[in-house]
Structure 1
């Protein structure tokens, strides 16, 4: 048994020997990464440069797109590097860094989506009080809170894991996540498990309760209002709800795959599902917000048209 702080490396055991096809996979994954970066950057630039979008909802969306870039950077550079290597080894430092980045991304994502639902609740259910209840001070707090909160709780997760004594060094993943390292431990992991459950409750269940309660109130207002009110409210809220369900789907399968042996699933299917929340979500959000929110869609068209014409 060795303390994890003394471990020099971990072996990522879920990679396949792709032979000459590794360059094809490299190009495909690099293309996906570039698409994620460009699509999220485009929406961030559109929101930052257009004063008509300097409203709380779009400011929170900008934070969401920044988190997509953050989460993608936690996976893709290391994934691309591992694909072109013959030996799939990651140093202990980069493994724990990846754990911190990936888990922070998940926590930030859930909290920001809850913040957006709360903002829509105030805008739709309390429109007259919205300017005072969603003032500049509160916007700044809700903008930075998800990031500070996630970094603080995930840092403790990583520190607790780094203190464990390990029996093995092989992780059956293509990237490092916390539970995969915890499973390698020979020492008592009860503190890690208890703290992990608390973090899961605060990060997933808490935002879920906020979203359910806010959307119940929003639906009540929609059904009591006119057809125009219903259409406007639902068209605004639909992207947020779709984003939350898509992300929850990906995280659910990642947690399920990490904690239970999914023997009935083909290994390639299990691998794809484990990457879903880190690959599909950063592509999904720019697509759904870009198409569904009229203001964003029109401004993106105008910016792209101006860039092409010049």
Structure 2
């Protein structure tokens, strides 16, 4: 297949409905991006600077923050630039790069959430062997696996898209996604759509199975605990369950409207729903995990209220529940 493209830029038409209030939207997206960077950087910094917080769950929370800054950086600065652009066009090369960034962010997010579910399983079901089972070497291997998995799996599929020759140049969204590139191909390229549906389970099923099995085991163990211990176990799982549900809802929004005809829904609504899977986790997750670390709360109090008394012992999301 000819690797050359007749189209050098794509027009993102979703911005046309925002022209009247583009400056206000620019400020909104700027504040959202600033909040995502500041909140995630704060969580990473506090955990990094305090060795007593170097528990596996906190490390995974930091990896989640790194991935969320990666995803929001691939999305929000480009949106701000296109909002104040006159043509709302992006080069074909940047569009292709953004597709890779956003899809690998999405895969990486689910992989990390699966590891966090596994961490809760080990902490609650095998508390006496938690630090042995979640050793530093094992954590490093799990993090490397989570990082490489989405890069390799999507990279293999994305190599098919890179071979396409584009004739269309219209993308009815605020950013580039793989399916929209396929729709603009000169040939039918139905095999790529089929490959996309075939590879989607690799992005979802292994992680989903790990999460379901982890919480099934947790539920079985909790059924044998006292009510007080059950509440304690549940509290350590709430941040992860919230993050998982929040991200899953956002991903469903994006998958449904990319694959199905959603023209009966307003452009503004479709645009908001398409951004949810990147923006909301990037802002809510560091808040959820930060509130679970006592030192972060103390740091915020010191920053805004000149609170100077540190606790003798710092809490952690990695607290293990005894049987």
TM-score by length of 1: 0.93
Alignment match, 1:122? 122
Q: CA deviation at 1:18?
A: 3.8
Structure 2 residue matching 1:10: 3-state secondary structure: strand
Which residue is 1:259 aligned to?
A: 259
Q: Displacement, 1:190?
A: 4.4
Alpha-carbon offset, residue 7 of structure 1: 2.9
Structure 1 unaligned spans of 5+: none
TM-score by length of 2: 0.89
For the residue of structure 1 that corresponds to 2:10, the secondary structure is strand
Equivalent pairs counted in the alignment come to: 306
* TM-aligned CA distance change 1:22 to 1:271, over 3 Å: same
The equivalent of 1:153 in structure 2 is 153
> Are residues 1:184 and 2:180 paired?
no
- Residues 90/2 of structure 1: CA separation in 2 closer, same or farther (3 Å cut): farther
Could you tell me how far apart the structure 2 residues matched to 1:194 and 1:253 are?
Answer: 20
**Conserved 8 A contact 1:2-1:167:** no
Secondary structure of the 2:11 match is strand
Runs ≥4 residues deviating over 6 A:
none
The alpha-carbon deviation at position 146 of structure 1 amounts to 1.3
* Residue 300 in structure 1 maps to residue 296 in structure 2: yes
Provide closer, same or farther for how the CA distance between residues 230 and 153 of structure 1 changes in structure 2, counting only shifts above 3 A.
Answer: same
Q: 1:11 deviation in Å? A: 0.9
Counterpart residue number, 2:311: none
Map of 1:139 onto structure 2? 139
Q: For residues 178-213 of structure 1, give each alpha carbon's deviation from its aligned partner in whole angstroms, at most 9, with x where no partner exists.
A: 011111223253442343234311111221111111
Matched with 2:320 is none
Counterpart position of 2:211? 211
The aligned runs of 1:149-298 (5 Å cut-off) are 149-291=149-291, 293=292, 296=293, 298=294
**Structure 2: 5+ residue stretches without partners:** 309-323
- Answer yes or no: is the 8 Å Cα contact 1:96–1:158 preserved in 2: no
CA separation in 1, counterparts of 2:19 and 2:265? 24
How far off its partner does 1:151 sit? 1.5
Residue aligning to 2:27: 27
Query: Larger deviation: 158-167 or 97-106?
Result: 158-167
- Alpha-carbon contact 2:121-2:214 (below 8 Å) kept: yes
2: CA distance, partners of 1:174 / 1:53: 39
Residues 4 and 162, structure 1, Cα contact 8 Å, conserved in 2: no
Aligned equivalent of 1:9: 9
Q: Which residue of structure 2 lines up, in the alignment, with residue 105 of structure 1?
A: 105
Q: 1:133 Cα shift? A: 1.9
